[in-house]
């Protein structure tokens, strides 16, 4: 079983309680859309409240190999796996480092395809720090069959920040 308790205390330093340049109420409205699974509504809300095109809304997707992280990113961006700007998909692990993908209709929305946890380069006790967790506005854990112990611990660490 993976143990995330050794993650350093400074991991969450600088976390945002609100989205940059937005009020608490505006941030809560965006958060409600995200919790309801309405990601494009959340992105639209950020654009409406910000009225700025240079503010990023970063969504990280984590999970195990084969859980559909890249396919999920492609689907939410309205792309097929074979499209030119699609995230690379395969049966084996493709993502070796965090990879970024912009949403074609919402230029301020940036999706991050994260490497799987528990590889030689991404160990559970340093994963959140390595992927720079504090820089994401939303962190989604993708599971293909069942939520495993690694997913639970990761969710707990994300939630404790």
Lowest mean pLDDT among 24-33, 121-130, 131-140: 121-130
CATH number of the domain bearing residue 89: 3.40.50.300
Structural domain of 43: 20-54
Does 50 share its domain with 80?
A: no
Does 39 share its domain with 118?
A: no
Whole-prediction pTM: 0.62
Alpha-carbon span 34 to 138, nearest angstrom: 8
Does 50 share its domain with 61?
A: no
In 3D space, the residue among 89, 138, 148, 160 whose CA is nearest the CA of residue 118 turns out to be: 148
Residue range 116-123: mean pLDDT, rounded: 71
Q: What is the pLDDT of residues 134-160, one digit of tens each?
A: 888 888 888 777 777 777 777 777 776
Please give the helix or strand (H or E) that residue 57 lies within, else none.
Answer: strand 57-63
Please give the helix or strand (H or E) that residue 139 lies within, else none.
Answer: strand 138-142
Does 43 share its domain with 62?
A: no
4 within a domain of the structure (yes/no)? no
């Amino acid at each position: 079983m993976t143990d995330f308790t050794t993650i350093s205390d400074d991991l969450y330093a600088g976390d945002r309680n609100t989205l940059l340049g937005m009020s608490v109420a505006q941030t809560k409205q965006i958060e409600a859309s995200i919790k309801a699974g309405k990601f494009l509504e959340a992105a639209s809300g950020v654009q409406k409240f910000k009225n700025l095109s240079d503010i990023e809304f970063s969504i990280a997707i984590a999970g195990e190999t084969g859980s559909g992280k890249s396919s999920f990113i492609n689907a939410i961006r309205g792309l097929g796996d074979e499209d030119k700007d699609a995230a690379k998909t395969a049966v084996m692990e493709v993502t070796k480092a965090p990879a970024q993908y912009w949403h074609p209709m919402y230029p301020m929305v940036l999706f991050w395809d994260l490497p799987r946890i528990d590889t030689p380069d991404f160990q559970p006790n340093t994963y959140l720090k390595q992927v720079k967790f504090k820089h994401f506005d939303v962190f989604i854990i993708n599971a293909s069959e069942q939520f495993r112990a690694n997913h639970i611990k990761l969710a707990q660490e994300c939630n404790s920040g």
